[in-house]
Structure 1
Amino acid sequence: MANQQEYDVIIIGGSYTGLSAAMALGRALKKVLVIDGVNPCNKQTPHSHNFLTQDGKTPKEISELAKAQVANYKTVSFLNDIAIKGEKSAKGFEITTQNGLIFKGRKLIFGTGIKDQMPNIEGFAECWGISAIHCPYCHGYEVRHLKTGLFANGDMAYEFGKLLWNWTKDLTIYTNGKSTLNAEQTNILASRNIHVVEKEIVKIAHNNGQIQELVFTDGSSQNLDALYAKIPFVQHSDIPQSLGCELTEMGMLKVDMMQKTTLDGVFAAGDNTSPMRSVANAVYGGNMAGAAVSKELIAEDFGVIN
């Protein structure tokens, strides 16, 4: 990393979103610092899909290639650290890292993603991203026609169950307690041979993250190949909120079409702004944020020159 402490843009989060934004800004000749703690949410995922030219590659392969390409732009620097504090300054923002370093940037981009909140079920975290999965567009083809479960309840279980029926007709909904599906929803699902199990899950038996069976509190069990789940999350970084950025009702950072948050000078993209959690969406959002930020910087500098 260069010794320079002041940057046009500080990007917090160096995965697909951050790297995509950094490439756009590097190509716009802007001085950029990418701060990344190297802890991506998809670190357990064996393969990434639905991203042209990289289908089937591991998330690490894609990010390493991306970083190597971004590093070709000499105005982009990288720091392996964690941003823990952000403050507004006269000329932009100041970011403090876990190692006590302070950097100044005219603009900020957050590609920090979200942090999944794992249920208190033994084995769930170990299977997350491998056979306990969140998205059929990311993973559905690989588990098509297999014995599949859906860990959800109520309207979410109904709507997601309808969607998953496209990939497998061997589908069971596990509500992990009393079902909150209404009678009509339950009947419609049953007519498609989608059954609802209300037993509470105590454990997921697995082999290196590959689900073998669900074990219930009553001692019974059910063989399973894959389990979709919609679980709660929190923002991975609380810096945007501490600065005053607003969240949506879903808990995402609120952004406009140019990935700009509700706070001037702060942009965000990727999983922290959208429920569409995919590499392709992260790359798109980062590219848009990088272009939008560079446009703002160019306009500001052009105004100063005049």
Structure 2
Amino acid sequence: MINTYDVIIIGGSYSGLSAAMALGRSLRKVLIIDSGKPCNEQTPHSHNFITQDGATPKEISLKAKSEVLKYDTVNFLEDKAVKGIKSGNNFQIFTESGKELESKKLVFATGIKDIMPSSIKCLSDCWGISVVHCPYCHGYEIRKKKTAIIANGERAMHLVPLINNLTKELTILTSAKHNFDKEQLQKLKNKNIKVIETEIIEIEHVNGHLKNVVFNDSSKIPFEAAYAALPFEQHTDIPELLGCEINDQGYIQVDMMNKTTMDGVYACGDNCVRMRSVANAVSSGNIVGAVINMELSREEF
């Protein structure tokens, strides 16, 4: 017999738990499926989220989980969703352990997975600690430090003004021929921001704390922190295989109510928006929970 729920939420971190709370408070039968591999697993502290500023990501997640599971219609399954299909008006989800589950509505709160550059040794060891992605999440803690931006072209220029506000010791490392136009180069020159094109081959560090960036000509430059604009991929291909559109930037396409392009399927958190933060994940999950409850209520009325 297949267990049936009002809503299955795939992903049990901040956005998934937030959606589950809104649904649990509306007496909806909910199942959260989570494989226990958050993208911020080695990040020492989370910031820019009021009431939880400076807590560890795990502390926030565990507290949220304990609060959500107080609602007796919400259940949590430690497992990995590996397949999803549309079955009539419902959705069926199959897990790695062999479970078959069904729901009226489906939420993807699966986040994204950063792709570590295999050509730069030890960058992954520093990711989330001293090599970071976001000035709002990490910038205050590494303010006024000697900082590198590992990026090129428009991605670098997006970060430069934000980080220049936090430190004046700033260097761009493109690791290849730069993609800046004359106007951009002049702006960088006016701010005394160097551009180094030499290929990076290694990040020297102590317990994840950056010490030097090493280049392929055997030279090295000391830095205390770095921002890196890394490529990413979706944690799961289930949304795409179900028929949800993935946009040109690699995110699940959603509307203002976080509905995907497939009826009955929603997405929240990092998998569908560029603004990658705990606060945004919680907000979008709360919206999804409310929207789904409204739709279920109308369908049942």
TM-score with structure 1 setting the length: 0.96
Q: Which moved more, 1:212-221 or 1:159-168?
A: 159-168
Q: CA deviation at 1:190?
A: 1.3
Taking the aligned partners of 1:83 and 1:115, their CA distance within structure 2 comes to 16
| 1:241 paired to 2:251 | no
Q: In the TM superposition, what are the counterparts of 1:1-306 in structure 2 within 5 Å?
A: 5-120=3-118, 121-302=120-301
Distance 2:86 2:154 in 1: 41
CA distance in 2, matches of 1:279, 1:159: 21
Which letter maps to 1:230?
A
What whole-Å deviation, never above 9, does each CA across 1:264-304 have from its counterpart, x for those lacking one?
Answer: 000000000111110000000000001101111111111xx
Give distance in 1, aligned partners of 2:200 and 2:256.
Answer: 41
What is the one-letter code of the residue matched to 1:137? Answer: Y
**1:112 is aligned with what amino acid?**
T
Cα deviation 1:242-282 (Å, max 9, x = unaligned): 00001122111111111110100000000001111100000
CA distance in 1, matches of 2:73, 2:182: 60
CA contact (8 A) 1:158 1:189 kept: no
**What's the secondary structure of 2:104's corresponding residue?**
strand
Aligned residues: 300
Q: Secondary structure at the match of 2:205?
A: strand
Q: Secondary structure at the match of 1:283?
A: helix
Which sections of structure 2, spanning at least 5 residues, go unmatched? none
2:77 aligns to what SS in structure 1? strand
Could you tell me how far apart the structure 1 residues matched to 2:246 and 2:218 are? Answer: 42
Q: Give, in whole Å, the separation in 2 of the partners of 1:273 and 1:210.
A: 30
Amino acid at match of 2:204: A
For the 8 Å contact 2:91–2:106, the answer to whether it is kept is yes
SS class of match (1:68): helix
- The amino acid that maps onto 1:18 is G
Once the 2 structures are TM-superposed, how far is the Cα of residue 185 of structure 1 from its aligned partner? 1.1
Shift of 1:167: 0.6
Deviations 1:200-236 (A, max 9, x none): 1110001111101001111110100111011111111
- Structure 1, 270-279 or 154-163: larger mean CA deviation: 154-163
Q: Is the 8 A contact 1:9 1:108 kept in 2?
A: yes
Q: What secondary structure sits across from 1:231 in the alignment? A: coil
Is this contact kept in 1: 2:32–2:76, CA < 8 A? yes
Contact 2:19 2:289 in 1 (8 A): yes
Unaligned runs of 5+ in 1: none
**TM-score, length basis structure 2:** 0.98
SS in structure 2 of the partner of residue 79 of structure 1: strand
Quote the offset at 1:4 in angstroms: 7.5
Which letter maps to 1:216?
F
Please say if residues 149 and 227 of structure 1, whose CA atoms lie closer than 8 Å, have aligned partners that are also in contact: yes
Q: CA deviation at 1:23?
A: 0.3
SS at match of 2:239: helix
Q: One-letter code of the match for 1:170?
A: E
Q: Distance in 2 between matches of 1:32 and 1:297?
A: 13
Q: Which amino acid aligns with 1:293?
A: I
Contact 1:12 1:18 in 2 (8 A): yes
- CA RMSD across the alignment: 1.0
